[in-house]
């Protein structure tokens, strides 16, 4: 690859990344309806035509935004040396809720917008949402599987159902905090969530 071609490829990749970042920001601030192709281009400092060039349509750009959110959340699932099972679940609860009040909070807000609209005005987004949810559940199931192996929770535990409930807890508490942060103490919620999850699974207290 020549230097000129490489530069063109790099510029194209940078433009695409800027458009994805703009889409995430707009989804968090304006919702799905307010995230237009024109608004994405303007937020990115680029033209609407470039959005169409890179993605074809709005939903394809939004799906790329969801994929970026999922990749950015990889630190939630990063291995912790010497930590397994229920301790990983404890870490997940703390890290996930902590992200809701970090400088990446708009990533979660954007994801919730896409969740809601995938069952209403933008069904084309549903497969991407389903995949994103399954990545989280698969990680939870893996942690719970370790907890079973280590004797922390009963061998007959329904890991699939438990993962769905834990995902619901993570999403639900965070959404309530975004709506009314004055009424939701995330530190208290983290401690309560850890206690409830452990009690529900028959594990010893943290």
Note whether 50 and 80 are same-domain residues.
no
Domain assignment present for residue 100? The answer is yes
Note whether 43 and 90 are same-domain residues.
no
Note whether 92 and 126 are same-domain residues.
yes
CB 130 within 8 A of CB 67: no
Note whether 128 and 31 are same-domain residues.
no
pLDDT reported for residue 2: 63
Is 17 in a helix, a strand, or coil? helix
| Both structure tokens of 182 | 């004055």
Q: Tokens 């699974």: give the residue.
A: 201
Domain assignment present for residue 206? The answer is no
CATH number at residue 10: 1.10.10.60
| pLDDT digit string, tens, across residues 9-32 | 888 889 999 999 999 999 999 999
Per cent of the chain over pLDDT 70 is 97
| Residue 16 structural domain | 3-58
Whether the full predicted model's pTM is greater than 0.85, yes or no, is yes
Domain count, the chain: 2
Distance of alpha carbon 59 from alpha carbon 124, whole angstroms: 7
pLDDT band of 67, cuts 50, 70, 90: very high
pLDDT reported for residue 1: 56
- Average of per-residue pLDDT values in the chain: 92
Note whether 125 and 179 are same-domain residues.
yes
Domain assignment present for residue 63? The answer is no
Note whether 83 and 173 are same-domain residues.
yes
Of residues 192 and 101, the one with the higher pLDDT is 192
Note whether 108 and 14 are same-domain residues.
no
Note whether 176 and 77 are same-domain residues.
yes
């Amino acid at each position: 690859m020549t230097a000129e071609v490489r530069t063109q490829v790099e510029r194209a990749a940078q433009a695409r990344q800027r458009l994805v970042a703009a889409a995430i920001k707009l989804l968090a601030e304006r919702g799905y309806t307010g995230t237009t192709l024109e608004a994405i281009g303007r937020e990115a400092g680029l033209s609407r035509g470039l959005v169409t060039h890179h993605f074809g349509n709005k939903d394809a750009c939004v799906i790329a935004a969801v994929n970026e959110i999922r990749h950015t959340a990889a630190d939630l699932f990063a291995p912790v040396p010497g930590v397994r099972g229920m301790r990983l679940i404890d870490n997940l609860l703390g890290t996930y809720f902590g992200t809701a009040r970090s400088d990446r909070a708009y990533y979660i807000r954007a994801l919730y917008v896409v969740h809601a609209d995938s069952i209403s005005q933008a069904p084309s987004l549903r497969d991407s949402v389903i995949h994103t949810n399954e990545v989280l559940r698969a990680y939870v199931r893996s942690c719970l599987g370790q907890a079973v192996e280590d004797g922390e929770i009963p061998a007959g535990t329904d890991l699939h159902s438990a993962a769905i409930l834990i995902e619901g807890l993570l999403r639900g508490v965070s959404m309530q905090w975004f709506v009314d942060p004055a009424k939701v103490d995330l530190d208290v919620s983290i401690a309560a969530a850890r206690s409830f999850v452990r009690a529900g699974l028959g594990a010893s207290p943290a």
